Chains A and B, each alone.
Chain A
Amino acid sequence: MDQQETKNSILARIRAGKPSFHPLPEVPCYGYPGDPVANFVNKLLEFDGRAIKFKTRQDAIEWLGKQPETDSGKKVIYSSADGVDGNITEDELSDLHNAHRIETCVTDSHLGVGEMGSVWVTDNTLRHAACALLSRRLFIFLDSNDIVGGLHDAYSGIRLADHQYGSFYTGPSATADIEAVHITGAQGPLALTVMLYNCGDAPAEPMLMTNPNADTSVWQ
């Protein structure tokens, strides 16, 4: 049957028998109590994500450069973050299937959510979402001033229609499909590290914060 006919017949049936009008309520912009940055770190760690605080973004870049995950000689790296270079070319990525080779992905986020420990990423900041999703280790820069309290706050600060792809990433990928055993690292990244900068309380020596009970499986 013709698409227009199907559409019309579905809409006609609805119009003919839909329930009587119910008014649309107003949704309060619920906040979330507590310090957004402290909440963000706690929640992120609960999800087996990792967090680390820096005074400046440059400090974060320097720290990142020393990590084994960003050893350009040994790992395939994709970066959409300013000041950090990857080693996989746009040419190679013209066939996006090649993204499966990526070990480490580095990117920026411009919004964090204290209530959830989530970071907002988009097609703009990621350039190729597939690169983040197929990577094994994901590193994300986030200005601590960009962390809002609750999820309602977060949505009120973005325009969804501006982005082909926009997503809240909350920790690394996970599953609990077998006997509800929590497994960190399912299809997507095995580890997620958020590098927070503009932190007044950043320690002199960078200190990586992890969940002491994190799932650190040997099968990665």
Chain B
Amino acid sequence: MKIGFFVPCYIDAIHPQAAISTYGLLKKLGLDVEFIERGSCCGLPELDMGYIKHSCSLEKGIVSLISDKGYDYVVVPSGICTDQFRDHFNEVEQTPEIEHFRATVHDPVEFLHDILKITELPGHPRFPYRVALHNGCHSLRYLNEARPTELMIKPFDKCADLLKLVDGLEVGYATRRDECCGFGGTYSIWDPSCSGQQGRDKVSDYARNGFKYVTSQDMSCMIHQQTIARKNGLDLKMFYITEILNGDAKP
């Protein structure tokens, strides 16, 4: 199978390790991975702010990048961008190619858990520590990667399943497991007070519960939480999930 690898703008610029680890892991699994070198923004910030027209024109930019490439799947190390492609990519013409793209775009968690259904990790990575798992809201409620605690359905958690493949790793959660950490994309700029309060509440909860490490499938949440933890002098280290799965996470 041929995989297209789309790297979101914020990962590229601020935390490329998330992409490096994801790319590395996919290659180790023996997959034919092609980095989509020409990039643009997926359009979520525009949609977020209500600029549907502009979100649409950004979407058009994506179309040429994924057309005629023969990708069986496109993997995006970002829940929010994956959701944007899957659920909101409505302004462009819905050709069979676009429909295929929307049906086969996944973040790494979905791809590893649901498509590849891996039962072990290459290199048998080891991370013998308690790690707080933060299921980012987009991945949680829009990509359905775990049961949100308010929904009365059978519990499941895809990230936790993957993390359990790492030697010695113990998965834990914040006290308010699924409460939003306050990043909310542009929200953290428009309402820094509340966004900051939510983030402070989240990271101080980790600290109170004795966590030193945190991971998530949403790097945007991690950047928000990590920078708040640092500002408040808390000893917390945060990783994108594939950093741990690929053995790149250094304690």
Q: Within the complex, are A and B direct neighbours (CB within 8 Å)?
A: no
